[in-house]
Structure 1
Amino acid sequence: MELILKRYAQLIIDVQLKLTEGDSLSINTEATTMQFARLLARQACLTTRQSVTIVETNHGKVVQAYPIEPEEKEIFRPPVHTTVMCHIFDLDTNPYRNAGDLSLVVGEVTAIAKFGHLSDPVILDRRIAVPWANVPYPGIRWASELLGKAVNEDRMWHLFSMLYRLDDGWNVSYWEEQGNLLEYRKNALNKIGHSRVTCVSDGWQLEVALAQNTRWAGGRTTLASRRYFSPMLPVQGLHAPLDSFSAQGTFSASRPFYVLGSEVTGAWFTVKDGRVIDWQAETGKEALSAFFNIDEGARHVGEISLADNDTIESRYIEKSIHPHFAKEITTTITFGGFSLDTLTTQANDEDILTSKLCESLVRLEIPVGDSHLSVTLQADDGQTHDVMFEGVHTL
């Protein structure tokens, strides 16, 4: 396990944060992941030749902060040139299968946040302009939801290692190549420009327009300085916001997912003028109803994410247990709020309204990708582009 942890730390350093000499890294962690934070800090010092600050928090409040120093004396260290941040979080802190009283849960923002349903706050002048990363740390509770109650640490780490390709020394090059592939696809999608999306699968069809003056995002993020980084791994999906009043048709979930701690299976949705008007589910319908009643925007189709269905993520994460992985498992359609990284020229609330973006407090990714899914884009110039066939990208 020690080798796997070192490979994971180096993956964060080399691929996610792209650390270089002189970077000043701050690691945010809670007590349960402190040991890995120290390992990451020690390895980061070897790259940055600068001190790394570990900030310990407890439910979001700072407990203490202290530096991990490199071997070089301060006089021999390179000058600090870039601030870099990462947040390590324990996958076991998510309250799986623990909905409680739904009427109480939906009335508290902090409770909704625990289930990972909060949207990005729409603060247009406070976008992060430094490299950053969200770093999950696996736990038995998380693994047991995917592998069964008899799971042990060996099986947990085997699953996590497969997802992050940590079983050999080629994980860094794999994720670099994956970043290049997603960058190519993202550029190709953005070159098509504003378009209408048609999703067709076994027994359903949904048509929806992309939001005006927005872009496809996901994969790597590039700063104004041309430095790029990966805010999260694994990465498979590219997402775009939708005109939240344009969706028409029906769609069904291709696999189970979680809403407010309840597992939903066999879900089916009917959408008119961007708003869900009917929904059914074999299990979990009450949780869906509670989610849709949080605010008006929760009922609107706000975003789409395209991800290949034939991947390790798709095969081994059979249901979207933790929101960190939701958009990377397979193609998803999102109810509620949009992602801020898809904005372009929007500078105020009026611009958000003009683009017809959904400003709901909450968001929920519904997995729809399978071997039957086809996705086409019809651009404003009338050209039709096939982007997915049988659940796999054609770009």
Structure 2
Amino acid sequence: MIDQKTMEKYAELALKTGVNLQKGQPIMITAPIETADFARIVVRKAWEIGAKDVLMNWVDDELQLLKFQHAPEEVIGSFPEWRIKQYNSLAEEGGAVLNIYSTNPDLLKDVDPKRIALANKASGEALTKFREYTMTNRITWSIISVPTGDWAQKIFPNLSKEEAIKSLWDAIVKIVRVDQDDPIAAWEEHNKTLYKAHTILNEKKYKKLIFKAPGTDLEIELPEGHIWAGGSEKSTEGITFNPNMPTEEVFTMPHKYGVNGTVSSTKPLNYGGSLINHFSLTFKDGEVVDFKAEQGEDTLKHLLETDEGAKRLGEIALVPHESPVSQSGLIFYNTLFDENASCHIALGKAYPINIANGSNMTKEELDKHGVNDSMTHVDFMIGSEKLDIDGVLQDGTTEPVFRNGTWALDIK
């Protein structure tokens, strides 16, 4: 285990820099029961900061697996009305949301992918309104992770559970900068670096990005008025927060009809407790027209069939290969971490904040601007030390953005 002082620092970082909890604001925390010791520290500190209320959602991998194994299909394909009301009422009250995400990557490996797809579709439809609050920054939210036994042993299979948990704690503490004397100040400096990166990209106003690597030859058009973001964000109420901890990315949206070519994954994708690995997608006019996977192909198929928007891209994110997550040398089997080791793209819904005035546009206006809509948003990793990216400027000239997996622009 990790020492009490470090857990206290991490909890404080999640509340003050992650969601930036305000006095008098309610907060909803979701955490695995295995992380109860850490979660209780977070709850205590939330009360100490002055939270109006602290709502706790406990989750348990074993109970989830039992449900998938035994529940009738109509239950798998439904989402409780009381939970919808819980999420929506918290959002309407301007609450903060902190998710401690630490799922066993192999949890549902033996479950029929159709049942997983049913559950994902049900939750996607049920939480549409809540997702609008988060993806337009109408509330503050953040995702962090702490070790659980099964997850840790997936990363460190040759260690005992206790040793694996300790090793994963050591990696996480370093990656999220909790090992530093003042993690909050360290994150302020880190956010400044990411701000510089997306400011430079916004000044470029690229028309198109071209990705080339082994198994990847992809062109992505960027919509007019697209906006690069990354690091800290501001809610519509003006509160600065960090949605992901760790984060090493700057990101924007593609034009939903402007993606052509083939892209190959470089890290496993843990999708709803089922792994998809060594897969590739081929796009034509923005839509996936062919796909294959060495592992989890049926799961990938069901993901793409979630709705029409699931076959199109909603995000492009640039992450240099020398990021702390990448330099750890670990595959985390957890998108929160793996996406911050590698450039990645996302199937599904785009963030309206990534286009000028997008948070105030109707669905029809967003669609007219080439903004993808879906009930899902799934990131997968395409970056490596072999990735080159070129940017096509407004006058048609091309310049290097990434070479050999890192910035070719003067970002540092």
**Fold equivalence (TM over 0.5):** yes
Q: Count how many residue pairs are aligned between Structure 1 and Structure 2.
A: 370
1:207 deviates by 0.6
1:366 aligns with 2:375: no
Q: Deviations over 1:74-111 (max 9, x none)?
A: xxxxxxxx976242435137763435111232233467
1:288 deviates by 1.7
The whole-number CA distance in structure 2 between the counterparts of 1:226 and 1:155 is 38
Q: Secondary structure at the match of 1:91?
A: coil
Closer/same/farther in 2, CA of residues 19 and 28 from structure 1, 3 Å limit: closer
What is the correspondence of 1:1-395 to structure 2 with a 5 Å cutoff? Answer: 1-18=3-20, 22=23, 24=25, 26-29=27-30, 32=33, 33-43=35-45, 48=49, 50=50, 53-57=53-57, 85-92=96-103, 96-98=107-109, 100-109=111-120, 123=132, 127-148=136-157, 150=159, 151-152=161-162, 153-223=165-235, 226-316=238-328, 318-319=330-331, 321-346=333-358, 347-393=361-407, 394=409, 395=411
The answer as to whether partners of 2:261 and 2:284 remain within 8 angstroms in 1 is yes
1:112 deviates by 6.5
Q: Secondary structure at the match of 1:286?
A: helix
1:18 deviates by 4.5
Select between 314-323 and 172-181 the one with higher mean Cα deviation. 314-323
After TM superposition, the score normalised by the length of structure 1 is 0.81
The structure with the greater share of residues assigned to helix is: 2
What RMSD, in angstroms, separates the aligned Cα atoms of the two structures? 3.3
1:58 deviates by 5.1
Unaligned regions of 5+ residues in structure 1, if any?
Answer: 66-81
Closer/same/farther in 2, CA of residues 315 and 286 from structure 1, 3 Å limit: farther
1:233 deviates by 0.7
Closer/same/farther in 2, CA of residues 212 and 89 from structure 1, 3 Å limit: same
Select between 2-11 and 219-228 the one with higher mean Cα deviation. 219-228
The amino acid that maps onto 1:2 is Q
1:185 deviates by 0.8
The whole-number CA distance in structure 2 between the counterparts of 1:126 and 1:205 is 29
Q: Deviations over 1:249-292 (max 9, x none)?
A: 12211222234533233222222211222222222222222222
Q: Secondary structure at the match of 1:174?
A: helix
1:128 deviates by 4.1
Closer/same/farther in 2, CA of residues 124 and 360 from structure 1, 3 Å limit: same
The whole-number CA distance in structure 1 between the counterparts of 2:137 and 2:216 is 39
Q: Secondary structure at the match of 1:267?
A: strand
The answer as to whether partners of 2:319 and 2:340 remain within 8 angstroms in 1 is yes
Closer/same/farther in 2, CA of residues 326 and 341 from structure 1, 3 Å limit: farther
Q: Deviations over 1:7-57 (max 9, x none)?
A: 20232244324467x5645353457255434423444566x4x35532123
1:387 deviates by 2.2
After TM superposition, the score normalised by the length of structure 2 is 0.78
Q: Deviations over 1:198-217 (max 9, x none)?
A: 11113532111012333112
The amino acid that maps onto 1:144 is Q
The whole-number CA distance in structure 2 between the counterparts of 1:2 and 1:124 is 34
Q: Deviations over 1:307-336 (max 9, x none)?
A: 112222124474462333353221012222
Q: Secondary structure at the match of 2:294?
A: coil
1:363 deviates by 3.0
Q: Deviations over 1:111-133 (max 9, x none)?
A: 776xxxx9897748994445433
Closer/same/farther in 2, CA of residues 308 and 354 from structure 1, 3 Å limit: same
Closer/same/farther in 2, CA of residues 311 and 122 from structure 1, 3 Å limit: closer
1:383 deviates by 4.4
Select between 346-355 and 51-60 the one with higher mean Cα deviation. 51-60
Unaligned regions of 5+ residues in structure 2, if any?
Answer: 60-79, 87-92
Select between 167-176 and 359-368 the one with higher mean Cα deviation. 167-176
The whole-number CA distance in structure 2 between the counterparts of 1:180 and 1:23 is 28
The amino acid that maps onto 2:404 is E
